[in-house]
Amino acid sequence: MATSRPRVLPVRNPRTGQVDYQITPPTPEELAGICGGLRQAQGAWGNAPLQYRISVMQKWAERIAAHREFLIERDSVDTGYCTISKLSPDIVIGNIMNWCARAAEILQRAKPEGKTSIMPTVAFSTSLRPYPLLGVISPWNAPLMLSLIDAVPALFAGCAVIIKPSEVTPRFVEPIMQTIQEVPELAKVFTYVVGDGETGQEIINDVDILVFTGSVPNGRKVAEACARRFIPVFLELGGKDPVIVTETADLEKAATAIVRGACFGTGQVCFSIERIYVQEKVHDAFVDLLVKKADEVVLNYPDVDKGQIGPFGTARQAEIVDEHLDDAIRRGAILRTGGKSVSLGGGCYMRPTVLTNVNNEMKIMREETFGPVMPVAKYKTEDEAVRLANDSIYGLSAAVIAGGVEESKRIGAQIDAGTICIQDTFLTLFMTFDVESHSFKLSGMGGARTGPGSILRFFRKQSFLVNTVDPAPFA
């Protein structure tokens, strides 16, 4: 049988716009061999006591800490020195250590046993059997952290794991693979491979369960491919997060929270604030504050250590945001500050941008923008605000800022989104372990991605029924 030829893929530097790196994906035959080796090693890993896996994962956390600066540097180059790159190794370590502390308790609760209520002479017990091989296809906007958010609990569950990060941000793979290889027990069941969408399609054919993070169109293709194989798939497909600001809100605090929530990571975060609905009586005062705070934000160019906003991850992403701005202004939106992307040193940058006179017919209020843009619309009544917030195909998360927590919660309970931030924005970043996150509408499917329940996605539950008396006669 003829084997496939290796492909070489160029990688663009988001700060310089230059191709300065390249990756070589495995051929389909090589990938099948890698998956076969992981699957073979998984039996011993999955059958080992949980405490064994905990001890191995603790060793890995130590190696991540030892290579922390190398990981930060490579992840930073991948993202154009986004702030989240500096946080990612510590977030991953914290996630690992939390599972070390709590996995045993969570898994024990998931294995009930006792007597059946219908037939007390029948006893039951439950076993959790990990899926042998998990495939992860992860995105480019927070490459290290998002590649591991699902992989870590799956490893504790006893799965083997193969990860394909985005071909846009592959530089961090070398240091993270170094940490894995320094823990030989882990390296047998856990690896990364580089590649593009073609490699991702091949992974689907070789795994037993899949997690994908990306766009709705690509998520639909992934879901269809997994359905053809009858394997479970978990999807997170982005958002168009609204925030409602009421007449009673502290406008100063609201503006501070919204600038951060919309512009952190250049707005390239799935739960960034992308739509702002403000009660009409306070709209003008709020916009003045928002513009003032937006103008205080600094680009991290030319000095990567100064400023809050880096370049877009891809030139195409800058084009998408520019298209949304053009569409909004053509339809009557008013540009209050900021504007379209500019090229600085070869990278694509955008200042925090505020628009008013927007409506839900504009692309910038309907499609995922993924940039530091803050479109502000007026509303009259609470019912109108909720209706506008829910007028979206997305339902990842949302925010409400009002005069008090109870008012915010009352409004938030009416919004169709999995997570509601109250009196602030962007709190989703801090819910990796303790709080379960779910997605509504087209933002995703498949159960909790974070929180205690997230590990249970990676098990098949097996029930044992025991008759404690003689079998009943047929007649």
Q: Which residues are marked as active site?
A: 236, 270
Rounded to whole angstroms, the Cα distance separating 263 from 268 reads 8
Backbone angles phi, psi at 417, to 5 degrees: -150, 155
Rounded to whole angstroms, the Cα distance separating 213 from 141 reads 10
Contact 200, 233 (CB under 8 A): no
Residues with Cβ within 8 Å of 453's Cβ and at least 6 positions away in sequence, in order, are 436, 447
SS3 label, residue 439: coil
Helix axes 173-181, 50-66, angle to 10 degrees: 130
Residues with Cβ within 8 Å of 230's Cβ and at least 6 positions away in sequence, in order, are none
Rounded to whole angstroms, the Cα distance separating 19 from 304 reads 19
Q: Are strands 459-467 and 444-445 parallel, antiparallel or unpaired?
A: unpaired
Name the E strands within 8-55: 9-12, 19-23
Which spans in 184-311 are helix H?
184-187, 197-204, 216-229, 251-263, 283-295
